[in-house]
Structure 1
Amino acid sequence: MSTYRFTLNEADKNFAINVLNETDETRAKSLEEIKNWLIENPNICAKSDDLNILAFLRGCKFRLDKTKQKIQNYYEMRSKVPEWFANRDPMLPEIEELAKLGVFIPLRQFQDNKHVVIIRTAVHDPRKHKQDDVFKVGKMILDLLGCENEQLQIYGVIAIFDMQGISVAHARQLPPSKIKKAVHAWQNYHCRPKQLEFINAPVYINVLLNVFKRFMSEKLKGRVRVHFSGLSTLHDVINKSILPNEYGGTDGNIEDHINLWHTKLLQSREWFKQDEMYRSRLQ
């Protein structure tokens, strides 16, 4: 029997019921079935506590077949893509440098209960930094975010892709094979991307986006939006009060947000060491 207790507020509970099909009875039965399924599939070395399983159930609206497939895909990805999921030591120079640059920045406040992250796609130097390390840092921070914020499972994430300064050298770091892996990760991660907002986009953005869209589900394609008119249209969908000053907002400097997550990464070094054991055992 599940030991999980819903501790969020009544509005969160009603949203979970009406949108995610999550009732107390459905939750208990679904958790039991997934745990039994994991026992029957020992090749999947998964986190089997209630909260981690619930992340996948909620992301799949408690459709069990879809949940099982997503769990399998996620843990297989952790084995097949070691360049993103192995050796995730936040004190490695290449990791710490990218974290301090702010390649992936969760904001401190929510938009319609969704967590907002800013992904600065071109803040790194492609002559010096590997794109795989950029993706690794982003997933490390996203994993920590999921641990501390259960609302993330229920409402999902809004990603703001800041393309300021993107160059041909940055684009060359993203061949179709790597783009396919990135999209596969978005669609099989333990939290749902609800909005993909692109800002400071170059004139050729649609060429790059069309490659991404080749690998996206129809639902995910419909969540992509490009803001060509500066930040004004972004402010129509993201409240200024939650954005850093550099994005026309009022919630402090971007450096404050970067420093917060750099510190959290360093404090979580042991957690990342333990986390590396969770992956599929490939045949």
Structure 2
Amino acid sequence: MIGSFKTIRPLPPALQKVAIEELNEVPSRVESDIATLKEWLQKQPHICACLENQFLLSFLRGSKFSLEKAKQKIDRFYSLQAAIPEVFNEHRLADDPQVLEIIRMGVILRIPLDKEDTGPAVTIIRAGSYDLNKFKFQDILRVGSMFGEIMMLEDDNASVSGYVEIMDMSGVTGANLFALQPHLLSKFSAYADEAMPTRQKGIHFINVPKAFEIGFKSLLGWFPEKIKERLSVTADPEAIFEQVPKHYLPLEYGGSNGTMKDMATEMEAKLSSYRSYFEDCQHFGTNDKLREEPTNLNPEESHFGLDGSFRQLVID
């Protein structure tokens, strides 16, 4: 799969227009921008990074083609992964049995869009659909992080228009909320906001049980402020149709796009095609002992300190 990243994938015309108007993309300059970013990375003794063109292009788009911001974001991408070892560890592989089992349960569903659609990519996360005695919240986040990277590498809607998450809270109990590990949720949300090149456009919680409204709202206090502004919470199951056209959804959500099992099968095949990428990821990262210049990760602007350790949020 890595070989397919060596070339630059052309955007569909409608998305190319969005990239030019909203991301400052200049098609004739993309190759030279990628080359400049790659040359910089090769000169950094403290970073071992993926150097494939499509990977680097996703960071340029996520930084609106500011080379300095793209450099900083790639540095953060690897530095902050090291700050969340519960998620980014040796189990983050395409053939890990636990990863495969979570995919087959349909806990996380990637919703395919039509080719001409210029809207954000869509992911559904079924928070109450896994066995708490068998899996920890960090295991679910690990699988989510893997598909987040697949999305940034191959989903043009995600790299240009961003993405939305539908958090389906059906079947969630007090035990589920307790298992969410708010501190870990906050760390991972900050990582997604500060380090991932795809822009999060919204998190929409649906089917939130009335009995847990108060406890759930207190949980939201753990999200970074920018992400809290993009949150919506409702008990209405049909609220999903306000975010995702019905024909994109699986039958179980009132749509006509196959079943959740069909989507899970496609996701497993997709993950398998990225086997070599995730094997390579085990060797990517940063080493601050080799860093020639102080990190430009401003602790006043980040939920992580200069050393990459997470700073506790102040909860109202």
Q: TM-score range by the shorter chain?
A: 0.7 to 0.9
User: Mean alpha-carbon deviation: is it higher for 71-80 or for 157-166?
Assistant: 71-80
* Structure 2 counterpart of 1:225: 232
User: Mean alpha-carbon deviation: is it higher for 153-162 or for 175-184?
Assistant: 175-184
Classify 1:19/1:207 alpha carbon distance in 2 versus 1 (closer, same or farther; 3 Å).
farther
| Corresponding position: 1:182 with 2:182 | no
* Structure 2 counterpart of 1:19: 22
- Give 1:27's aligned amino acid: V
State the distance in 1 between where 2:151 and 2:20 align: 23
Classify 1:61/1:267 alpha carbon distance in 2 versus 1 (closer, same or farther; 3 Å).
closer
Classify 1:64/1:207 alpha carbon distance in 2 versus 1 (closer, same or farther; 3 Å).
farther
Determine which of 115, 122, 125 is the counterpart of 2:121. Answer: 115
Aligned-pair identity in percent equals: 29
* Structure 1 counterpart of 2:155: 149
SS of residue matched to 2:56:
helix
Q: Write the deviation string for residues 146-201 of structure 1: whole angstroms up to 9, x where unpaired.
A: 33323321112121111111122222223332122121222121322212121111
* Structure 2 counterpart of 1:137: 143
User: Mean alpha-carbon deviation: is it higher for 172-181 or for 155-164?
Assistant: 172-181
State the distance in 1 between where 2:263 and 2:7 align: 32
SS of residue matched to 2:112:
strand
User: Mean alpha-carbon deviation: is it higher for 206-215 or for 91-100?
Assistant: 206-215
* Structure 1 counterpart of 2:69: 66
- Give 1:130's aligned amino acid: K
* Structure 2 counterpart of 1:95: 99
Contact 1:101 1:124 survives alignment (8 Å): yes
SS of residue matched to 2:129:
coil
* Structure 2 counterpart of 1:170: 176
Q: CA deviation at 1:56?
A: 1.4
State the distance in 1 between where 2:89 and 2:72 align: 22
Classify 1:192/1:267 alpha carbon distance in 2 versus 1 (closer, same or farther; 3 Å).
same
SS of residue matched to 2:187:
helix
State the distance in 2 between where 1:201 and 1:27 align: 44
Q: CA deviation at 1:65?
A: 3.5
Mapping of 1:41-80 within 5 angstroms? 41-80=44-83
* Structure 1 counterpart of 2:277: 271
Contact 2:63 2:197 survives alignment (8 Å): no
Q: Write the deviation string for residues 68-113 of structure 1: whole angstroms up to 9, x where unpaired.
A: 2221111112333233222223333322221111121101225643
Classify 1:252/1:23 alpha carbon distance in 2 versus 1 (closer, same or farther; 3 Å).
same
User: Mean alpha-carbon deviation: is it higher for 24-33 or for 90-99?
Assistant: 24-33
User: Mean alpha-carbon deviation: is it higher for 208-217 or for 46-55?
Assistant: 208-217
Number of residues paired by the alignment?
279
SS of residue matched to 2:237:
coil
* Structure 1 counterpart of 2:257: 251
State the distance in 2 between where 1:70 and 1:205 align: 35
- Give 2:21's aligned amino acid: N
Classify 1:96/1:239 alpha carbon distance in 2 versus 1 (closer, same or farther; 3 Å).
same
Classify 1:206/1:46 alpha carbon distance in 2 versus 1 (closer, same or farther; 3 Å).
farther
SS of residue matched to 1:82:
coil
| Corresponding position: 1:195 with 2:205 | no
CA RMSD of aligned residues (A): 2.4
User: Mean alpha-carbon deviation: is it higher for 4-13 or for 15-24?
Assistant: 4-13
Q: CA deviation at 1:25?
A: 5.5
Q: CA deviation at 1:50?
A: 2.5
| Corresponding position: 1:216 with 2:219 | no
- Give 1:225's aligned amino acid: S
SS of residue matched to 2:50:
coil
User: Mean alpha-carbon deviation: is it higher for 189-198 or for 24-33?
Assistant: 24-33
Classify 1:237/1:150 alpha carbon distance in 2 versus 1 (closer, same or farther; 3 Å).
closer
Classify 1:33/1:268 alpha carbon distance in 2 versus 1 (closer, same or farther; 3 Å).
closer
- Give 1:69's aligned amino acid: Q
Q: Report the TM-score, using the length of structure 2 for normalisation.
A: 0.79
User: Mean alpha-carbon deviation: is it higher for 102-111 or for 191-200?
Assistant: 102-111
Contact 2:118 2:157 survives alignment (8 Å): no
Q: CA deviation at 1:276?
A: 1.8
- Where structure 1 has 5 or more consecutive residues not aligned to the other structure, the ranges are none
